[in-house]
Amino acid sequence: MNEYVNAILKNKYIQINIFVILLGVVFLYFWAFIQGRKISFWPPYIENKTDKIFINPPSSRKDAINGIWEGIATQIDEKLGKKSYPVRATFKATGKIITGESVTEVGPIKSVLSFRGGFINDEYMKVDYINKDPRVFQWGVCIFRFLPRGDRLHSKFVGYGPESRDIVVGEINAKLVKAD
Q: Are residues 85 and 134 in the same domain?
A: yes
Q: Are residues 159 and 125 in the same domain?
A: yes
Predicted confidence at residue 132, as pLDDT, reads 95
Q: What does the pLDDT average to over 83-110?
A: 91
Q: Are residues 23 and 87 in the same domain?
A: no
Domain assignment present for 52: no
Q: What does the pLDDT average to over 6-34?
A: 86
Q: Are residues 152 and 64 in the same domain?
A: yes
130-167 pLDDT, tens per residue? 999 999 999 999 999 998 888 999 999 999 988 888 88
- Cα gap 119→62, rounded to integer Å: 9
Domain assignment present for 160: yes
Q: Are residues 77 and 13 in the same domain?
A: no
Domain assignment present for 54: no
Which structural domain, as residue segments, surrounds residue 84?
59-179
Q: Are residues 80 and 124 in the same domain?
A: yes
Q: Are residues 146 and 69 in the same domain?
A: yes
Asked if residue 62 lies in contact with residue 146, where contact means CB atoms within 8 angstroms, the answer is: no
Domain assignment present for 53: no
Please give the mean pLDDT across all residues of the chain.
Answer: 88
Domain assignment present for 159: yes
Q: Are residues 63 and 146 in the same domain?
A: yes
Asked if residue 39 lies in contact with residue 47, where contact means CB atoms within 8 angstroms, the answer is: yes
Whether the pLDDT of residue 67 is over 90: the answer is yes
Whole-angstrom distance between the N-terminal and C-terminal Cα of the chain? 53
Q: What is the phi-psi region of residue 36: left when phi exceeds 0, alpha when psi lies from -120 to 50, beta otherwise?
A: left
Whether the pLDDT of residue 58 is over 90: the answer is no
| Among the ranges given (4-13, 24-33, 55-64, 117-126), the one the predictor scored with the smallest mean pLDDT | 4-13
Domain assignment present for 134: yes
- Cα gap 170→132, rounded to integer Å: 20
Predicted confidence at residue 109, as pLDDT, reads 83
How many structural domains are present in the chain? Answer: 2
Domain assignment present for 27: yes
Q: Are residues 64 and 36 in the same domain?
A: no
Domain assignment present for 153: yes
* CATH number reported for the structural domain that contains residue 73 in this entry: 2.40.128.20
Whether the pLDDT of residue 94 is over 70: the answer is yes
Predicted confidence at residue 143, as pLDDT, reads 97
Q: Are residues 87 and 169 in the same domain?
A: yes
- The pairing of strands 97-106 and 81-94 is antiparallel
Whether the pLDDT of residue 15 is over 90: the answer is no
Instruction: Residue 104: name the closest of 167, 163, 165 by CA.
Output: 163
- Cα gap 51→47, rounded to integer Å: 7
- Cα gap 107→26, rounded to integer Å: 51
- Cα gap 148→61, rounded to integer Å: 9
